[in-house]
Amino acid sequence: MKKALSAMLSMAVEDGYLEGNPVSGIRLPKGSGRGVRLAWKHVIALAEEIDPRYELLIWYGALQALRSMEAAGVRRPDMETAAGKQLVEEQRQRGKAVPLKTEASQAVLDVGSFLLDKYKAHMARWRAPLSTAALRKREKRGLPPVPEEYGDLVTVTRYWTPVRENALCRAFDLAKERARVRGVEIPKKATFRDLRHFADAVLVASGLEPRKVQARMRHARLAETLDTYGYLVWEVDWENAPASFEELYGIAAPAGLPEVALTPRAERERRSSQRPR
């Protein structure tokens, strides 16, 4: 009932009859089997425990709401063409560049300083040009030269090849296991796609204007944004977030957010360093 009513009201918003959807954000009792609820503590644990080569993919999913193979297909020009922006133009399937899921999936997204710093650190560590010695080592092992088409990929495997779906799924599951061993109870059924759900839920729960949420999720219709993920709205554990709202998403924080959601990354790190071990 709520889904049907929300869909009708969302269409009225799109057509200009209403200024907003009064049903959006209303919490219903949690249904059985409808999605996995991640929190900031889960996302951070996944980023810390996954193969370091793939950490950036976790942040692409949780902050930019990229699907797994969209994240794997991010190229240098996508991150470096326009300051503070990310282009989403293609994805990778079985190692090959292919069109995005829908026409609406192509977009220019705002990028926060937190993700930009992660990107720069990733590129410095994992995408520096291979040294002459490394190239000779590859040749001795019988490995083929790195194809030019892979040169602009931001994330590659240890063999300098595109990240494939099955490899990312294995790495994600292993990160879940490691996080659970250290006491972070990540839902057992969580998948990479739940990072996209998480991004939407955080933005909706933060009171961001629905159109801006739609732009981040890259849905053709507002109703799709509200009714695909609307049931996932929950309380956000901002105290565990790694940075402020604006640093994370590259957009101004909505009015009404708690003070902890506005605390800058540097201040969070300072407070963390002062906590007794």
What is the Cα–Cα distance from 249 to 63, expressed in whole angstroms?
Answer: 6
Residue 235: its H or E element: none
> b vs e for 190-204, b when ≥16 Cβ sit within 10 Å of the residue's Cβ?
bebebbbbbbbbbbb
- 18 assigned to some structural domain: no
What tens digit of pLDDT does each residue of 256-276 get? 999 999 999 999 888 877 777
96 exposure class (CB count in 10 Å sphere: 0-12, 13-18, 19+): exposed
Among candidate residues 195, 159, 245, the one with its CA nearest the CA of residue 57:
195
CATH of the domain at 98: 1.10.443.10
- 178 assigned to some structural domain: yes
**Summary mean pLDDT of the chain:** 86
- 234 assigned to some structural domain: yes
Q: Which residues, including other chains, have CB under 8 Å from residue 108's CB and lie 6 or more apart?
A: 82, 85, 86, 87, 88
Cα separation values, 256 from 21, 25, 227, 236, 259, Å? 18, 14, 23, 13, 9
Summarize the chain as % helix, strand, coil (round to 5): 55, 5, 40
- 5 assigned to some structural domain: no
> b vs e for 11-44, b when ≥16 Cβ sit within 10 Å of the residue's Cβ?
eebbeeeeeebebbeeeeeeeeeebbbbbbbbbb
62 exposure class (CB count in 10 Å sphere: 0-12, 13-18, 19+): buried
pLDDT value for 13: 56
> Which residues span the domain enclosing 204?
34-274
What is the Cα–Cα distance from 277 to 259, expressed in whole angstroms?
Answer: 25
- 16 assigned to some structural domain: no
Q: Which two tokens stand for residue 244?
A: 């402020």
- 17 assigned to some structural domain: no
* Residue 104 CB neighbour total at 10 angstroms: 15
Contact 221, 14 (CB under 8 A): yes
* Total domains, the chain: 1
Q: Residue 163: what are its φ and ψ, rounded to 5°?
A: -75, 130
What tens digit of pLDDT does each residue of 110-166 get? 999 999 999 999 999 998 777 778 778 878 888 777 777 788 999 999 888 899 999
pLDDT value for 19: 60
What tens digit of pLDDT does each residue of 194-249 get? 999 999 989 988 989 989 999 999 998 887 777 665 555 568 999 999 999 999 99
What is the Cα–Cα distance from 149 to 11, expressed in whole angstroms?
Answer: 42
How many residues comprise the chain? 277
- 14 assigned to some structural domain: no
pLDDT value for 156: 94
pTM for the whole structure: 0.83
- 3 assigned to some structural domain: no
